[in-house]
Amino acid sequence: MAKVSFIGLGIMGTGMVGNLVKAGHDVTVWNRTAAKLKEIEKIGAKTVSDPADLLKDADFFMYCLADDAAIKDVITGGHNLAAKVKPGTIAIDLSTIDPQTSDEERVIYEKNRVAFLDAPVFGTKGEARDGGLWIVIGGDETVFNKSLSVLKPISETTHYMGKSGNGAKMKLVGNLLVASQIVSIGEALSLAKNAGLDLRKVLEVAAVADFKTPIYAGVGAGVIKGDYEVNFPLKLMLKDARLIQAFAKRFNSPVTIASTTEELAKEGVDAGLGELNASAIVKVISKRAGVDLVE
Ligand code: NAP
């Protein structure tokens, strides 16, 4: 059993904490919105009202925060927790952020003799709840191996990607693939509808043919019911589309899908859809196509 300090009771962090507690770890949590702390106490986590209180005697300091701004507010600036963690602790950032921000974290932790892993996750609300995430990790391999006791309870698989920052990079590469599938299923269903095809039959084909993916199946099933219940909010997809472009620009590597995704996601967020699921990109596409995809 390890002493785990955790920050971030969002869609993902809440599920992660549940599985760390279930695995028998001694978990203490802080969240910016204090109301969420009451709920997490019910499942056996301890809570603190001041994040500095998390850092006294943790073996692992884990966090899953919204974006780079949150990391800057809590970890590298603002509360500045990276500079306050006690030496010997292992810090693990599970958020999706710019690899450059991840590198800034590493530098501060190194100065403080704290080991650091960038460990963003694939999967969404259900996988977080069920301990079935797919985690991509950068950092020292010995530290990665020492951290398996806290990574395994929240994941189906862990993928050691190499040096620090490689987890953050892999996450953006993977989210480019996710974005491309959401945009393509939106365009394909809109075209099919305009062309008079039965969308249930279209999805039957998409479920078995050599282009099938769980995203086509999941997003497709949702949009024909008009179900955009949030797992991965559209506002975070917009953030990721921007991160992918900034990241790719450093290598002059084309990511046309990310710029298309940004344009569509921004239109959705501006229309008030930001708290809906990222599949609301399909809503934006179908509106442009002049079709209603609900069957
Ligand atoms: P979320 O539900 O929006 O939760 C975000 C968390 O960050 C909340 O605990 C929030 O605190 C906290 N936060 C945001 N800004 C903050 C700030 N300035 N200071 C302190 N705390 C702050 O997001 P999520 O869906 O759990 O996602 C968390 C991370 O995982 C993101 O980087 C996301 O891209 C990534 N991710 C998400 C999914 C998904 O399907 N949802 C999948 C893979 C990866 P409050 O409670 O006070 O708002």
- Distance, in Å, from the CA atom of 121 to the CA atom of 86, rounded to the nearest integer, reads 25
Predicted TM-score (pTM) of the model is 0.97
- Rounded CA-CA distance 187/2 in Å is 47
Q: Do 156 and 231 fall into the same domain?
A: no
Query: How far apart, in whole angstroms, are the C-alpha atoms of residue 18 and residue 25?
Result: 10
Structural domain that includes position 156: 3-164
CA 55 to ligand 1 center in whole angstroms: 21
Q: Where is the domain boundary, 164, 182, 201? A: 164
Shared domain for 32 and 77, answered yes or no, is yes
- 178 and 273, same domain (yes or no): yes
- Residue at which a domain ends, from 164, 180, 199: 164
Backbone angles phi, psi at 60, to 5 degrees: -125, 140
Do residue 142 and residue 211 come from a single domain? no
Q: Which residues of the chain have pLDDT under 70?
A: none
Distance between CA atoms of residues 237 and 214, nearest Å: 18
| Residue of 175, 200, 156 whose CA lies nearest to 265 | 175
Domain termination residue (choose one: 164, 187, 222): 164
Task: Please state, in angstroms and rounded to a whole number, the distance separating the CA atoms of residues 71 and 86.
Answer: 18
Same structural domain, 121 and 194:
no
- Say yes or no: 18 and 119 in one domain: yes
Here the CATH number for the domain that contains residue 265 is: 1.10.1040.10
171: annotated active-site residue: yes
Phi, psi of 246 (to 5 degrees): -65, -40
The CATH number for 54's domain is 3.40.50.720
Same domain, 230 and 246: yes
Q: How many domains are contained in the chain?
A: 2
pLDDT digits (tens, 9 = 90+) for 275-288: 999 999 999 999 99
Indicate whether 8 and 152 sit together in one domain. Answer: yes
Ligand 1 pocket, residue 40 CB under 6 Å: no
Whether residues 135 and 195 share a domain: the answer is no
Asked if residue 281 and residue 233 are part of one domain, the reply reads yes
Q: How far is the CA of 11 from the centre of ligand 1 (A)?
A: 7
Encode 196-207: b = buried (16+ Cβ within 10 Å), e = exposed: eeebeebbeebe
295 part of a folded domain: no
pLDDT at 137: 98
Cβ contact 193:291 at 8 Å:
yes
Residue 236 C-alpha to ligand 1 middle, in angstroms? 8
Whether 294 is in a domain gets the answer no
Closest-CA residue to 182 (of 295, 99, 65, 276): 276
Same domain, 135 and 189: no
Let me know whether 42 and 138 are in one domain.
yes
User: Is the shortest distance between the CB of 155 and ligand 1 below 6 Å?
Assistant: no
pLDDT of residue 56: 86
The answer to whether 213 and 282 are in contact (CB under 8 A) is no
Q: Give me the catalytic one of 169, 171, 235, 283.
A: 171
